[in-house]
Amino acid sequence: MIREPLIFEISDKGKRAFAMPPLDVPKAAGFLDGLDVRDEIAGFPQVSEVEVVRHFTRLSHQNYCVDDGFYPLGSCTMKYNPKINEKIAALPGFAKVHPYAPVDTVQGCLEVIKRTEDYLCEIAGLDAFTLQPSAGAQGELTGIMLVRAALEKRGNPRKYVLIPDSAHGTNPSSAHLSGYTVQEIKSNADGMIDVEDLAKRMNEDVAALMVTNPNTLGVFESDICRVAEIVHAKGGFLYMDGANMNALTGIVRPGDMGVDVIHINLHKTFSTPHGGGGPGSGPVGVVKELIPFLPTPVVVKTATGYALDGNRPDSIGRVKGFYGNFLVVVKALTYILALGAEGVREIAEIAVLNANYIRKSLEGIYHLQYDASSLHEVVFDDKIQKDAYGVTNLDIAKRLIDYGFHPPTMSFPLIVHGALMIEPTETESKRDLDAFIETMKTIAEEARTDPAMLKAAPHQSYVRRLDETAAARNPVVKWETPKSV
Amino acid sequence: MSYIALSDKDKREMLARIGVEAPGDLFRCIPEGVRLKRLLDLPPAMAEPELDRHMTAIAAKNTYGEYESFLGAGVYDHYIPSVVDNLSSRTEFVTPYTPYQPEVAQGTLQVIFEYQTLICQLTGMDVSNASLYDGAMASAEAVLMAHRLTGRKRILVARSLHPQYRETIRTYTQNVGLVIEEVGYGDCGGLKSAELRKKMGPDVAGLLVQSPNFFGVVEDLKACAEIVHAHKGLCVAVAAEALSLGVLEAPAKQGADIVCGEAQSFGLPPAFGGPYLGFMACAKEFLRQLPGRIAGMTKDVDGKRGFVLTLSTREQHIRREKATSNICTNQAWCALRATMFLETLGHDGLREMALQNMHKARYAAGVLAKVPGVKLRFSGAFFNEFVLDLPKPAAAVAAALKAKGILGGLPLGPFEPGLPNALLTAVTETATKASIDRLAAALEEVLR
């Protein structure tokens, strides 16, 4: 299999894929005088249209995507992305609208924002949402800043944020950027927050507890209501990382469990495509007390239609330009309307059914460090294969590629060594789940009979194991035109 | 409408294997008391045809498309070649995740590598990241980066930096003890170098200056960099109109240490504010303080070239609270569109588009400034937008133009209380001579 060259390697002087129509205004004279201008953009590509088209078409063939097959990347919620969503987001009535347009000319856009906020409030059981954050991590940052602003208003922003060791890695850095020192809470033998430990650690210097629920083990924090009581009793806020809401929609609402502030990943739970790493969207939902602090501007409904309210003296300010990743919100709203109330509950029911089906089918073949019941994802590890045959989770993951599957998540949770974190989501068919299960069994067998072959996997991909250590030690992060040319 | 792929028989068989009776039994770990006993209060499910109708009707409530628009101010209407829409909608680019498994993500990784190269070529910098959320957030991250690199807590920000970027910087820095101070602009519309000289000092991490700035005026980056460097501070050049880099000298060559900004102009529609594309590039020695993902070149076990995400030791999943930033998901698909846009336009196309913006904006500024009572507010050279000084409040004039079907620009009063009569007008290559002449005629009528 031949790799597609870099565009710079097929570029040649004078070639072009695009030309401007002739200028229809008189040419300005001397317009560059006094400006520091460039005559050329050194190294910039010059190719024909068909070359551009073939370049990207061939590159596309070197990507695995959800439409190719099973993509059980735990915590990332790689569910099917409906095609209607793309069609709607591309409508010129949405895509071509300028964000500084007068509000009476953008009532449709404002309706999309307000209705999505309202539906998310109902789904999360909270009082208000902001759609401004561009991704989950920015949602976390926004959420903790809201907590800080509210505590400052009360007179003391406090010092610490408590974060369980099973949390997403972005949680601690978001808390840190909000000016807090992070204190880690250890998980108990069931993979859940140790409530006794929390009670001892919670005091009036702690601003918030950031809990991921279900946590990164796919385990529901069963003591969540008690956790909320403990945090609230000392005047702190309960932050919930809602990246795993796929397990809960229509089943239980975070607000009803005592959660004060949450971020939800629209690209996960509400099926807006991940695009190879964004754009995402990380709306933040809050209880009443935190509403005055939300980022500005806020969409409000008035007697004459929708308006933008930027006059919020207690607001934390703006966390990005304009109103969020609007077209991502359009896709999420389209998805919610397609599903309706029953469909939104079905997301969680089937996601959890699919995950437990995999769990039950692979139990004993792969090791489960935590016995607690799983919701939408299940975390196996490589203990059985590693102890007996020296085969690691990396080897298993790379071998899955040969069989046409995307590997599961391996980098976390940090508390499970050799993790294989599998999240099937609700959109997978039983046929595909069965094929995956059979493959995992085959690989377990191969670990016993031919571990060397597993260690050399993948065997079928465009490139095989890549040297990531060399890439980091001697970073080459752009193309340099060879000196001899 | 549902997107579930299980038949009733499938569900029964799966429940039987798990050993429970109903899907609801799998939620026993959730305390009974908080479990929802009702359906959510959401509208009933819609089948695709009615959903299509419903959403199309909402889009039709936006009347923006009926107007001739000269709005810019950080978001620009540029022609997007068909190649970009067609190729970027390939499902292999739309529906994968972050390329954590490089063997099955070489497409995405090579595109990021090419994107990083293009950004370096445009800015003249050594290294680029794989994208940030938008220009506002990139500016805030640049401030944090300048602070990390210098250990200094005061940061100077040009008053002529986009107001939303300044607001975002304030939000991002309010809890980490940084002090943000603004440097004003003069009659040319550019940053006052005397004021910069006065405010600059050995405790200042650096200066953020946008060029072309919020008023469209091209800044003297060289002069700014000299003053900032005299105190060993960092010069951060911000571009809200990245197309200008097709003609204006690369910021690195003018002394910038970090270049960041908004690349919406490269193949992304205005989209009511997003998704956009924040970019950031810097000198090689700052690589390990650069926030966000980075793709690097390497070899596989057979010696074949390949690409991976690299330098992840800067990131939150390794360093947790000590990471260079909290971001993980970025705007990869937007960076893909920018890559397609730039490679399609190519060297000559990009320069032609940038030059046409300059010619058309100059023609427009000429005919508009001939309207009785109207003049250009600033004397500095501009790229594709400029500020008109009107004989009456700009908001009223804009409203009157709107009644004639034209959105003539952004009234600056709400952003700069000292400029109530100022209208920020953008003229890109998509404006025609006829549309510019119509704007001039309408303005004359409105002011008569």
Q: Between B433-447 and B332-369, two packed helices, what is the crossing angle to 10 degrees?
A: 50
**How many degrees, rounded to 5, is the angle at CA A411 between CA A140 and CA B147?**
50
SS (H, E, C) B161-197: CCHHHHHHHHHHHCCCCCEEEEECECCCCCECHHHHH
3-state secondary structure of A184: strand
Cα separation, B246 vs A291, in Å, equals 44
Q: How far is CA B338 from CA A276, B130, B331, in A?
A: 14, 11, 11
Cβ contacts of B4 on chain A, cutoff 8 Å: 346, 350, 426-427
pLDDT digits (tens, 9 = 90+) for B84-107: 999 999 999 999 999 999 999 999
User: Region B347-357: what's the mean pLDDT?
Assistant: 97
Say if residues A471 and B310 touch (Cβ distance below 8 Å). yes
Distance from A235 to chain B by nearest Cα, in Å? 20
- Taking an 8 Å cut-off on Cβ atoms, the answer to whether B59 and A88 are in contact is yes
Q: Which residues of B touch A324 (CB under 8 A)?
A: 273-274
Q: Cα B119 to the chain's mean position, in Å? A: 14
Calculate how close chain B gets to A317, using CA atoms only, in Å.
6
- Residue by residue, DSSP assigns B373-406 as T-EES--S-BSSEEEEEPSS-HHHHHHHHHHTTE
Cis geometry, peptide bond prior to residue A279 (ω within 30 degrees of 0): yes
Residues of B in contact with A220 (CB under 8 A): 29-30
ipTM: 0.97
Rounded CA-CA distance A287/A262 in Å is 9
Q: In angstroms, how far is the first alpha carbon of chain B from the final one?
A: 57
Question: Quick check: B130 and A277 CB within 8 A?
Answer: yes
Query: Regarding beta strands A181-185 and A206-212, do their DSSP bridges make them parallel or antiparallel, or are they unpaired?
Result: unpaired
Residue A484 has pLDDT above 90, yes or no: no
Average pLDDT of span B168-185: 96
- pLDDT in the model for residue A477: 97
Helix/strand/coil for A421 = strand
d(CA B46, CA A185): 44
How many Cβ atoms from other residues are within 10 Å of residue A283's Cβ? 27
Name the residue facing B34 among A105, A145, A256 (closest C-beta): A256
The predicted-structure confidence for B364-393, as pLDDT tens digits, reads as follows 999 999 999 999 999 999 999 999 999 999
- Helix/strand/coil percent split, chain A, to 5: 40, 15, 45
Cα dist from B126 to A222, B122, B253, B435, whole Å: 50, 11, 12, 41
Question: What value does the mean pLDDT take over residues A190-215?
Answer: 94
How would DSSP label each residue in B269-318? --GGG-S--EEEEE-GGGGGG--S--EEEEEBTTS-EEEEE--GGGSHHH
Asked whether the beta carbons of residue B97 and residue A340 sit closer than 8 angstroms, the reply is: no
Residue A485 confidence (pLDDT) above 50:
no
Give the whole-angstrom CA distance, residue B35 versus residue A244. 17
Q: How many CA atoms lie within 13 A of B120 on its CB side?
A: 24
Residue to substitute from A23, A353, A430, interface B, most B β-carbons within 10 A: A353
Q: How many CB pairs under 8 A join A and B?
A: 671
User: Residue A241 corresponds to which tokens in the numbers above?
Assistant: 């990382």
Contacts of B225 in chain A (CB under 8 A): none
CB contact under 8 A, B87 and A45: no
In single-letter form, the type of residue at position B336 comes to L
Q: What φ, ψ does residue B330 adopt, rounded to 5°?
A: -125, -135
Residue A210 exposure: Cα atoms within 13 Å on the Cβ side: 35
Taking the C-alpha atoms of A85, A90, A94 and A95 in order, what is their torsion angle to the nearest 10 degrees?
140
Say how far residue A197 (Cα) sits from the centre of its chain.
30
Q: From A285, A293, A296, select the one nearest A314 (Cα to Cα).
A: A293
Positive or negative, the CA dihedral B15, B21, B24, B25 is negative
Count other Cβ atoms within 10 Å, centred on residue B351.
Answer: 19
CA distance A287 to chain B (A): 17
CA dist., res. B446 & res. A200, Å (int): 71
| Cα distance between residue A111 and residue A305, in whole Å | 9
Statement: residue A1 has pLDDT above 70: no
Mutation pick from A78, A134, A210, A426 vs chain B, by most beta carbons of B within 10 Å, is A134
Query: For residue A89, what are its two tokens?
Result: 């987001």
Q: What is the pLDDT of residue A413?
A: 80
Matching residue, tokens 């001039």: B440
pLDDT of A2 higher than 80: no
Q: How close A449 comes to chain B (CA, Å)? A: 23
CB contact under 8 A, B62 and A108: yes
Q: What is the pLDDT of residue A279?
A: 97
Q: Please write the tens of the pLDDT for every residue from A239-288.
A: 999 999 999 999 999 999 999 999 999 999 999 999 999 999 999 999 99
B contacts of A99 (beta carbons < 8 Å): 75, 270, 272-273
The string over A195-213, giving b where at least 16 C-beta atoms fall within 10 Å of a residue's C-beta and e elsewhere, is: beebbebbeeebbbbbbbb
What whole-number distance in Å separates Cα of residue A199 and Cα of residue A207? Answer: 14
pLDDT at B68 over 50: yes
Least CB-CB distance to A82: which of B3, B74, B352? B3
Tell whether pTM > 0.95: yes
Percent residues over pLDDT 90 in chain B: 96
Return the residue of A nearest to B83 by Cα.
A53
Which of B19, B46, B402 is the closest to A337 by Cβ? B46
Over residues A3-7, the mean pLDDT reads 94
- Residue A343 pLDDT: 98
CB atoms closer than 10 angstroms to residue B37? 5
- State yes or no: pLDDT of B246 exceeds 60: yes
Tell me the CA distances in angstroms from A442 to A404, B29, B105, B412, one per residue in order. 13, 32, 24, 67
Q: Quick check: B118 pLDDT over 90?
A: yes
Establish how many alpha carbons lie within 13 A of residue A419's alpha carbon, considering only the half-sphere containing its beta carbon: 24
The pLDDT, as a whole number, for residue B312 is 84
Residue A339 per-residue DSSP state: H
Cβ–Cβ gap A337/B55 under 8 Å: yes
Over residues A295-316, mean pLDDT = 96
Question: Which pLDDT score, from 0 to 100, does residue A166 have?
Answer: 79
Secondary structure, 3-state, A281-302: CCCEEECHHHHHHCCCCEEEEE
CA distance B203 to chain A (A): 21
The answer to whether residue A301 scores a pLDDT higher than 90 is yes
Contacts of A357 in chain B (CB under 8 A): 14, 17-18
Chain A CB contacts of B319 below 8 Å: 173
Cβ-defined contact of A107 to B62 (cutoff 8 Å):
yes
pLDDT in tens, B224-235: 999 999 999 999
Rounded Cα distance between B415 and B149, Å, is: 31
Query: Under a CB-based contact definition with an 8 Å cutoff, are residues A371 and A416 in contact?
Result: no
| Nearest in space to B217 (alpha carbons), one of B386, B388, B72, B412 | B386
Distance of CA A298 to the CA centre of its chain: 24
pLDDT at res. A208: 98
Taking CA atoms, what residue in B is nearest to A81?
B95
- Where does the pLDDT of residue B319 fall: very low under 50, low under 70, confident under 90, or very high at 90 and above? confident
**Residue among A44, A340, A456 minimizing CB distance to B45:** A340
pLDDT-based confidence at residue B124 (cuts at 50, 70, 90): very high
**Structure confidence at residue A288 (pLDDT):** 98
Read off the pLDDT band of B325 (50, 70, 90): confident
CB atoms within 10 A of CB A476: 15
Of B117, B175, B320, the CB nearest to A479: B117
In a mutational test of the B interface, the residue from A53, A56, A86, A323 whose CB has the highest number of chain B CBs within 10 Å is A56
CA distance B47 to B12: 26
**How far does Cα A69 stand from its chain's mean position?**
19
Average pLDDT over chain B reads: 96
Q: Flag if B56 and A88 touch (Cβ within 8 Å).
A: yes
Residues in chain B within 8 Å Cβ distance of A81:
94-95
Share above pLDDT 70 across residues of chain B, in percent, rounded to a whole number = 99
d(CA B230, nearest CA chain A) in Å: 21
**Contact between chains at B2 and A68 (C-beta distance less than 8 A):** no
Give A372-421 pLDDT, tens digit per residue.
899 999 999 999 999 999 999 999 999 999 999 999 999 878 788 999 99
State the Cα–Cα distance between residues A393 and B258, nearest whole angstrom: 40
Neighbour order of strands in the sheet with A206-212: A128-130, A284-286, A261-264, A237-242, A206-212, A160-164, A181-185
Q: Would you say A18 and B349 are in contact if contact means Cβ atoms under 8 Å apart? A: yes
